[in-house]
Chains A and B, each alone.
Chain A
């Protein structure tokens, strides 16, 4: 079973709106990372949040981490058509040998 599970599985929004997706995980982590994937190509690293951090910003991205609830959220503000992609959370846990464990992803469609 996968460590991270994203919610929702799919999201459709209008350009300019905000997109929020959530990730839940099961075990203690060192850090949690978010990646974007366009049309089945390689993954692009977006942002990493460490277990002792609660919130992090990068441009139009805002990530939160709640270790007590074992959950994270990714907010994309003022979305653009170019944000259309699949978004994955991945956990890095020492107990898992420091490999990345991915969730199933959220497919985001931003309509112009």
Chain B
């Protein structure tokens, strides 16, 4: 059903460790966004990439970083993990961009990576 795949699906890490989450976006979608969703809450925007450059960032510290690659894949890296980083991390891709917003495109989400920090 979805054109966006994320890996791994589940992950357990120890506080202080580093983690890399991966996302393969839908082909042709130049925009990829990452969201953090704590249990029982709505997704919170982490950052967005358009054609391999970050073009928007939410209220997350610098230890959250990302990369987008030309092959429509992307990564979310989190350093110095904290217990509060435990959440579902969602990747979403879209044709939307700061140049095409008035056309109105929806986002295609992956199934997410469930990260547990112990």
Contacts and interface: CB of A to CB of B under 8 A. Distances in A.
A45 B33 contact: no
Interface stretch (B13-21, B64-72, B105-113): B105-113
Interface residues of A, number: 26
A16 B42 CA distance: 27
Interface in A42-101: 42-45, 48, 50, 88, 92, 94, 97-101
A80 B47 CA distance: 36
B42 A42 contact: no
Interface in B79-101: 88, 90, 92, 96-98, 101
B74 interface: no
A6 to B, nearest CB: 8
A7 B98 CA distance: 30
Interface residues of B, number: 35
B113 to A, nearest CB: 10
B101 A92 contact: yes
A20 interface: no
Contacts of A98: 48, 56, 96-98, 101
B7 interface: no
A48 B104 CA distance: 7
Contacts of A50: 104
Interface of A: 2, 4, 30-31, 33, 35, 40-45, 48, 50, 88, 92, 94, 97-105
Interface of B: 1-2, 4, 6, 33, 35, 37, 39, 41-45, 48, 55-56, 58, 88, 90, 92, 96-98, 101-102, 104-112, 114
